[in-house]
Amino acid sequence: MGKHAQPARVTRRRPGRVSRRRYPVLAAGAVLAVVGASALLLGGGVPGTALPVPGGAYGTTALAGGEAPAAASSSGSAVHGCVKPGSRSSVSATGAAGCPSWAFGGTWQLQLTQPTATAHSAATPADTSAGASASSANGPGQFFGLAPVGTPLPRSDAYCASRVRPMAENVPANATANHVIPPAGTDFHWGPFVTGNAGVAANFAHVDGNFSGTTGEILEWAACKWGWNQDYAMAEAVRESSWQQSEVSDNGHSFGILQVRVSRAYDPVPANSGWGGYPWVGQSTALDADAQMAYLRACYDGDTSYFGNGYQAGDAWGCIGSWFSGDWLSGEADGYIGRVQAVLSSQGWLKL
C-alpha cells in the first residue's frame, strides 16, 4: 500500500505476520511447450476432421514483453497419408499406395515455420497534448507479463489500450472513477517518495492515467505500460482494496485500487508528503494503477538501491513486498507477499 518513506519506515495498516514466503508460488496449469526451431502446422485433410493447431484458434497468444508476434519464414509441401476416423490429435502419414480398411486416405499441406526474432522496441509515450484519451479497444488482446530488466519503458498509452483483452466489470461502483482521465498537463503534486529518487521520478514523469475501461482492463493497461505481470496486479488489487477504487485506509492517507499513500501519517492528506497524487489517485482508477506500477517497475529495474538488505534488480516479489512494508524482505514484507500469492494462486479477482 505504498507506505514507505525514504529512509525511515512508517506504520502499516495490516502488519500481521505469516510464515516466510517460498516464492514464486504460482499455480501451474497444463503448459503447451513448442520446442525447437520450427513448428509443424497441419491444415486441410479429411473432410469433417479438425486438427488442433498449437497456438491457433484454441488459445490466445501470450507475449511476455507485450510485443507483436514475430514474422516467420516458412516452406511447405504436400504429404499423403492415412488417418483413423475420429482421431483429432495425430496423423499417421505413410508412403504406401493404399490405406488399411479402418483408415481414410488424405492429403495435407505440411508447412515448416522458422520464427524470426523480434527485438524489444521503446514505445513512445502517448502524446496527450491535444487532450486525446485512450480507451479499451476491440483488438486481439493479449496477456501482459514481466518484461526483462532494462526493457525500454513505458509503452505508450495508445499501444497498450489497443492490446487490452476485454474484461467485464465486476464492481459497478468503480464505473465513475474508471472513466476519470486527468486533463493533459495536470500537476499531480508527486511527493518526496517520488521526487527523492531519480529512477522513480523518471518513471512518474510518464504517469498520466490516460485510459478508461473496466477495472480489470485498467489493470491490464497499466501492466502493459510498465512491463508488469497483469495477474500480479490483479492479485494486489484484491488484497489492497478488495477491487474497490473508493477504498481509503491508513487514517485517510491511502487511496484507490492499489492504495497509493499520498502523505505520511503525521501530515495532513493534502500535503502530499508521501507518494503524493492527491486527490487524483482517489478519483481516477487509471492514475492510481499507473502510479503504483511505475514504482514497481523502478524497483524491479534496480532503481531503489536505498533499500539495502540484499536488494537487487529483477525480484518482482521483493518489490511487491516493499510496496506494503517500505523495506526489503522484512517479516512484514514476507507476510504480505504470501497473502498476495494466495490470491494469485486462487485467481481471487475472478471470484468477487
Q: How does pLDDT run across 98-112, given as a tens digit for each residue?
A: 555 555 555 444 443
pLDDT of 252? 97
- Grid-cell match 502523505, residue found: 263
83 pLDDT above the threshold of 70: no
pLDDT of 304? 96
φ/ψ (deg, to 5) at 263: -140, 160
178 pLDDT above the threshold of 60: yes
pLDDT class for 142, splitting at 50, 70, 90? Answer: confident
pLDDT tens for each residue of 5-20: 443 333 333 332 222 2
pLDDT of 81? 52
* Mean pLDDT (whole number) for 175-196: 97
φ/ψ (deg, to 5) at 41: -115, 130
Percent of the chain with pLDDT over 90: 59
* Mean pLDDT (whole number) for 33-52: 31
pLDDT of 141? 77
pLDDT class for 352, splitting at 50, 70, 90? Answer: confident
> Higher confidence at residue 278 or residue 40?
278
Q: Provide the pairing of β-strand 260-261 with 39-44.
A: unpaired
74 pLDDT above the threshold of 70: no
Q: Under DSSP, is residue 44 helix (H, G, I), strand (E, B) or coil?
A: strand
- In this predicted structure, which of 57-71, 72-86, 260-274 has the lowest mean pLDDT? 57-71
Rounded Cα distance between 104 and 253, Å, is 71
259 Cβ contact list (under 8 Å, min separation 6): 1, 2, 240, 241, 247, 249, 250, 292
- In this predicted structure, which of 58-72, 164-178, 206-220, 237-251 has the lowest mean pLDDT? 58-72
- In this predicted structure, which of 75-79, 208-212, 229-233 has the lowest mean pLDDT? 75-79
Rounded Cα distance between 326 and 97, Å, is 73
> Higher confidence at residue 29 or residue 199?
199
Percent of the chain with pLDDT over 70: 60
Q: Under DSSP, is residue 102 helix (H, G, I), strand (E, B) or coil?
A: coil
CB-CB contact of 273 with 192 (8 Å): yes
Rounded to the nearest integer, the mean pLDDT of the chain is 73
**What letter represents residue 57's amino acid?**
A
Q: Which cell goes with 237?
A: 488489487
Question: How many other C-beta atoms are found inside a 10 Å radius of the C-beta of residue 27?
Answer: 9
- For the chain, the first-to-last Cα distance in angstroms comes to 20
Q: Which cell goes with 125?
A: 509515450
136 pLDDT above the threshold of 80: no
Rounded Cα distance between 312 and 331, Å, is 18
Short-list 314, 318, 310, CA closest to 340: 318
Using alpha carbons only, give the angle 112, 118, 121 rounded to the nearest 5 degrees. 165
* Mean pLDDT (whole number) for 116-136: 37
- Please tell me what DSSP assigns to residue 225: H
Q: How many residues belong to the chain? A: 352
Q: All domains of the chain, ordered by start, with CATH?
A: 134-350 (1.10.530)
Q: Which cell goes with 120?
A: 524489444
CB-CB contact of 259 with 249 (8 Å): yes
Q: Under DSSP, is residue 190 helix (H, G, I), strand (E, B) or coil?
A: strand
Phi/psi-derived region of residue 123, left when phi > 0, alpha when psi is between -120 and 50, beta in every other case = beta
pLDDT of 28? 34
pLDDT tens for each residue of 240-299: 999 999 999 999 999 999 999 999 999 999 999 999 999 999 999 999 999 999 999 999
* Mean pLDDT (whole number) for 292-310: 97
Which residues on neighbouring strands pair with residue 39, listed in sequence order?
113
pLDDT tens for each residue of 318-348: 999 999 999 999 999 999 999 999 999 999 9
